[in-house]
Amino acid sequence: MKEIELNLTNSVLQGPLEVPGDKSISHRSVMFGALAEGKTTIRHFLKGADCLSTIDIFRKLGVEIEETEDEIIVHGNGWDGLKEPVEILDAGNSGTTTRLLLGILAGRPFHSVLIGDESIAKRPMDRVVVPLKNMGAQISGREDGRFTPLAVKGTTLTATHYELPMASAQVKSAIIFAGLQAEGETVITEPLPTRDHTEKMIEQFGGEMTRRGNEIIVKGGQVFNGTDIYVPGDISSAAFFLVAGAIAPNSEIILKNVGLNPTRTGIIDVMKNMGANMEVLSEDSKGEEVGTVIIRSSELQGIEIGGDLIPRLIDEIPIIALLATQASGKTIIKDAEELKLKETNRIDAVVNELTKLGAKVEATDDGMIIHGNQSLTGGRVTSYGDHRIGMMLAVASLIASGPVAIENIEAIAVSYPQFFEDLTSLIQ
Ligand code: S3P
């Protein structure tokens, strides 16, 4: 396991930056490209470990995928272009790959086996397996299909009307992929809106879907056509620099080409509500929204974060917790029990590691309470093998009074392989 010692106390951050492509959109662009007929060219694809796992799996499923310096080219042959794999499909650390793939494989007429790393082996897959089985899927696995390894025997699926018990774009998307292969109309009801990249991509690839209030309706038997996709910068990666720019002294960071899909911009709403010195400049775009976000050193106040904001910033909660240590007053994060089921238990990880750096943070059943105006100290911390915890701790080192040693930093390559180079490029 690699570790790094960061000595960045009182660094000033200045300059422009373009963060890597969006992880959620990168995964989906390869999936739809593989299922479509003809060529799909993807620009600004995230070459992080998770999305590379998705590419590797689709190659094992018989899809030709070329990788050049700045493009991924997928040669799709339609749904029937996927073939029974000879090898086990390994999703690595990627929950999105595992869950969305189950929805695709459930309806393909062949056998496949899906595994992932130690973290994936602990994450609940029954949230996808149970509704897929209700559509006729034949999936078996450890603890009755609750965990990987999972085996899928593809079969004919029937359309469903499924009410999601939790706000999860991964579960929603898995059922959409199954519904696209089922006869008839599948209707999915969401308790709260979650990221809608799958729905947008259906349209970008020439398919159809309908939104009716909190329902998403897809018809089976759709044929997709290959297309050109530009992946905007990942707002979940930009979030680390939004917080870094707000808490570091005399700083100004200009983040270009950031994805501004409204289902993902909770971090911007929260930072504005906390008083951040931030400007958002939206640009004209086809498909996913993009723009420039400028952040400057800010005076912040604590707030309460919960309800329908949570799915719009679920992956940003670790870095928001760090931000809240620098605000005046208390910040309460609630309705976020899903954090316990991420790459690691992110409530425990944030509370344990920020406490080691001298912060006052308390875990609650569904979130945490962060006390503001905290001076952080140096110390030895761990990422728990979770990319977002690792990056949050690296940003914490900017305001820690001493060096911060972070264990297990290789996890950061899951979503942001060049994170340290980008951070260093901004330091004056
Ligand atoms: C994702 C959905 C979210 C998010 C994850 C990516 C996606 O997970 O946390 O990083 O691409 O659909 P859930 O659907 O489990 O909330």
Ligand 1 near 96 CB (within 6 A): yes
Assign domain 23-217 to its CATH architecture: Alpha-beta prism (3.65)
Q: E strands within 56-124?
A: 64-67, 71-77, 89-90, 111-115
pTM for the predicted model, two decimal places: 0.98
The helix (H) or strand (E) run that includes residue 16 is strand 14-17
Measured in angstroms, how far is the CA atom of residue 14 from the centroid of ligand 1? 31
Distance CA 414, CA 391 (A): 11
Return the SS3 of 76.
Answer: strand
Measured in angstroms, how far is the CA atom of residue 169 from the centroid of ligand 1? 6
Annotated catalytic sites, by residue? 315
Residue 160: Cβ within 10 Å count: 19
3-21+232-426 CATH choice from 3.40.50.1220, 3.50.30.30, 3.65.10.10, 3.40.50.150 = 3.65.10.10
Angle of helix 317-325 versus helix 266-273 axis, rounded to 10: 10
Domain ranges of the chain: 3-21+232-426, 23-217
- Does residue 268 contact residue 309 with C-beta atoms inside 8 Å? no
Measured in angstroms, how far is the CA atom of residue 87 from the centroid of ligand 1? 26
Question: Phi and psi for 91 in degrees, rounded to 5?
Answer: -85, 0
**Digits of tens for pLDDT over the chain (428 positions)?**
899 999 999 999 999 999 999 999 999 999 999 999 999 999 999 999 999 999 999 999 999 999 999 999 999 999 999 999 999 999 999 999 999 999 999 999 999 999 999 999 999 999 999 999 999 999 999 999 999 999 999 999 999 999 999 999 999 999 999 999 999 999 999 999 999 999 999 999 999 999 999 999 999 999 999 999 999 999 999 999 999 999 999 999 999 999 999 999 999 999 999 999 999 999 988 889 999 999 999 999 999 999 999 999 999 999 999 999 999 999 999 999 999 999 999 999 999 999 999 999 999 999 999 999 999 999 999 999 999 999 999 999 999 999 999 999 999 999 999 999 999 999 99
- Does residue 359 contact residue 370 with C-beta atoms inside 8 Å? yes
The binding site consists of 23-24, 28, 95, 123, 168, 170, 315, 342, 346, 388
Q: Amino acid identity, residue 96?
A: T
206: left (phi over 0), alpha (psi -120 to 50) or beta: left
Ligand 1 near 168 CB (within 6 A): yes
Q: What order do you get walking across the sheet with 37-43 strand by strand?
A: 64-67, 71-77, 37-43, 228-230
